[in-house]
Amino acid sequence: MMWLPCLLIALPLTGALCAWLVRSNNARPQVLVAAGCLHLPLSLAAVFWPRHDTWGAWLYLDAIGKVFLLEISLLYTACACYAVGYLRSRSERDNRVLCMGMLVCLAAMTLTAASRHLGLLWLAIAASTLTMAPLVYFNRNARSIEATWKFMMIGSVGIALALLGVFFLAYSTMVAGLEPTLQLEQLIQQAHLLPTSWLKAAYVLLLVGFGTKMGLVPMHTWKPDAYGEAPGLVGAMLAGGLANCGFIGLIRIHQITAATTLASSCSNMLIGIGLFSIAVATIFLVRQTDFKRMLAYSSVEHMGLFALALGLGGKALYGIMLHVIGNGLGKGMMFMVAGNINRAFGSKSREVARGALVRMPWSGALFLAGFFAVTGSPPFVTFASEFSFFSASFSRGGLVLTLLLGLLMSIAFLGMAQTVLPVVFGNPPATRERTKYRDSAILIVPPLALLLIGALAGLWLPEPLHSLFIAAAALLEVKP
């Protein structure tokens, strides 16, 4: 049944061509919405229709790919609807490149979720990175071009290292006397036959390469600039889409090493880099005055949580799948609302953007609710996922690891609160002239929908989703 995956990838590419051909700035965002309204039901069919489980040797949606595809499609559809209102308010700028980039990026992220060949997976992640660069530069000022160059240069290094890791992995099959392959199923089955030295070198290179896409420390330095200078719409795609694509790559190489004697050492590496990322992000979250950069460091923290949970295993594996949905959609809605607040006050600083509840009640309320969503507060689904991380840390690392993790996350919560609460509450500065921006339904409903999905999943998880998450977690279990 190859028509469905091909259609899921070809649909946004066709939309990108249409966006290029459409001449009207006002009409072009409608192509984004049309693509999202078609992509989402097709993704739901691919995720929940069992007849489409078998696609082929190179394209195949296992349970892990289905979770990521569902999150990517939901996020993109919300971003597409939001883009209509956002681009209407930015009518002075040509939006052809932005619309095309979003659609090509959707195709690349879909391909990332469905790839069963590591070469194809690398190509999809590289394509998603390259297509996001012009979007970061949308504001076309000195700070945005600096952020774009940093994003491209550091991202290119990560892509290159990941490609070298893929080469090492392929060469390890030749050293073992096996038929050279990069197909995931064959690599998992033959992993115990691969030479340990080459496999470990490949793992380290792929961890650094895909960790750069995720924004793990110390490969995270592009994130604060790119997230801070890109439009909120683009920040949502970066935090909820591109970062998750990097995590897919890390999951795939972890599946291979989990079937070898390297499983324990690789897991320890993940735990170490995860804790380091959380710790560094926590330091920069304290007294952060730029609320978009705050969200960037929060993303670094949560990518560290992903790496830590993957290394811990056990109960944390189910939590990872919950966190993919909760953090991806939560970060997406936070960046959209942060964009609203930025335009309303003409600033990203908490010293200037104060009293959002007074000036723009809907955006202010959503920003406050989003803060609780991304910090793992009930009733949001991130509460359940982070609880599973703590449970796994106690089982695997004992009391010391659990207390350290709790301390870091508590400091991160307080650090974010120092930025979020002044932005939401208080009185707008009287000395600053009010901008023309006002809350409107088209800019409020998409982030509100993402917030409600995260809250509903935390209160009640439908049985098909629960079964999907269990199946995805089972694929990550370390095999003796």
Render 59-118 in DSSP notation, one character per residue: B---HHHHHHHHHHHHHHHHHHHHHHHHHHHTTTS--HHHHHHHHHHHHHHHHHHHB-BH
Helices (H), 258-314: 263-285, 291-312
Contact criterion met (CB below 8 Å) for 151 and 215:
no
pLDDT of residue 53: 47
Phi/psi for 144 (5° steps) reads -70, -35
pLDDT of residue 50: 65
Chain segment 330-352, per-residue pLDDT in tens: 999 999 999 999 998 988 999 89
Domain assignment present for residue 330? The answer is: yes
d(CA 465, CA 318): 11
DSSP code for 41: H
Residue found under tokens 């970061």: 136
pLDDT of residue 170: 92
pLDDT of residue 38: 95
Burial, 427: exposed, middle or buried (Cβ in 10 Å; 0-12, 13-18, 19+)?
Answer: exposed
**Which residue from 353, 342, 336 is spatially nearest to 444, judged by alpha carbons?**
336
Domain assignment present for residue 302? The answer is: yes
Render 177-199 in DSSP notation, one character per residue: TSPP--BHHHHHHHGGGS-HHHH
Torsion of CA 57, 63, 64, 67, to 10 degrees: 120
d(CA 132, CA 235): 10
Phi/psi for 117 (5° steps) reads -125, 125
The residue-averaged pLDDT of 371-386 equals 94
Query: Residue 460, Cβ neighbours under 10 Å: how many?
Result: 9
b (16+ CB within 10 A) / e for 182-216: bbbebbbebbeebeeebbbbbbebbbbbbbbbbbb
Peptide bond into 218 cis (omega under 30): yes
Chain segment 411-446, per-residue pLDDT in tens: 999 999 999 999 999 788 877 777 778 889 999 999
User: Is the pLDDT confidence value at 5 over 90?
Assistant: no
Chain segment 268-287, per-residue pLDDT in tens: 999 999 999 999 999 999 98
Residue 480's pLDDT band, with cuts at 50, 70 and 90, is very low
Contact criterion met (CB below 8 Å) for 223 and 299:
yes
d(CA 416, CA 470): 32
Mapped onto helix, strand or coil, the DSSP state of residue 403 is helix
Range of the domain at 134: 3-474
Instruction: Please work out, in degrees rounded to the nearest 5, the angle formed at the alpha carbon of residue 337 by the alpha carbons of 335 and 341.
Output: 110
Contact criterion met (CB below 8 Å) for 320 and 473:
yes
Domain assignment present for residue 321? The answer is: yes
Amino acid of residue 336: M
Domain assignment present for residue 290? The answer is: yes
Task: Evaluate the CA torsion angle 57, 59, 60, 65 in order and state its sign.
Answer: positive
Q: Which helix (H) or strand (E) holds 377?
A: none
Percent of the chain predicted with pLDDT > 90? 78
Domain assignment present for residue 214? The answer is: yes
Burial, 418: exposed, middle or buried (Cβ in 10 Å; 0-12, 13-18, 19+)?
Answer: middle
Instruction: State how many domains the chain has.
Output: 1
d(CA 80, CA 105): 12
Mapped onto helix, strand or coil, the DSSP state of residue 300 is helix
Domain assignment present for residue 70? The answer is: yes
CA distances 326 to 14, 85, 272, Å, are: 30, 25, 24
Domain assignment present for residue 480? The answer is: no
The residue-averaged pLDDT of 380-384 equals 95
Which residues are within 8 A (CB) of 212 and not within 5 positions of it... i.e. 6 or more apart? 154, 155, 157, 158, 159, 161, 162, 219, 222, 246
Amino acid of residue 478: V
d(CA 354, CA 3): 51
pLDDT of residue 205: 96
The residue-averaged pLDDT of 26-43 equals 94
d(CA 473, CA 395): 17
Contact criterion met (CB below 8 Å) for 41 and 82:
no
Contact criterion met (CB below 8 Å) for 171 and 233:
no
Helices (H), 115-242: 118-136, 142-175, 184-190, 196-214, 223-229, 232-237
Instruction: Please work out, in degrees rounded to the nearest 5, the angle formed at the alpha carbon of residue 318 by the alpha carbons of 1 and 54.
Output: 10
Mapped onto helix, strand or coil, the DSSP state of residue 117 is strand
The residue-averaged pLDDT of 202-211 equals 95
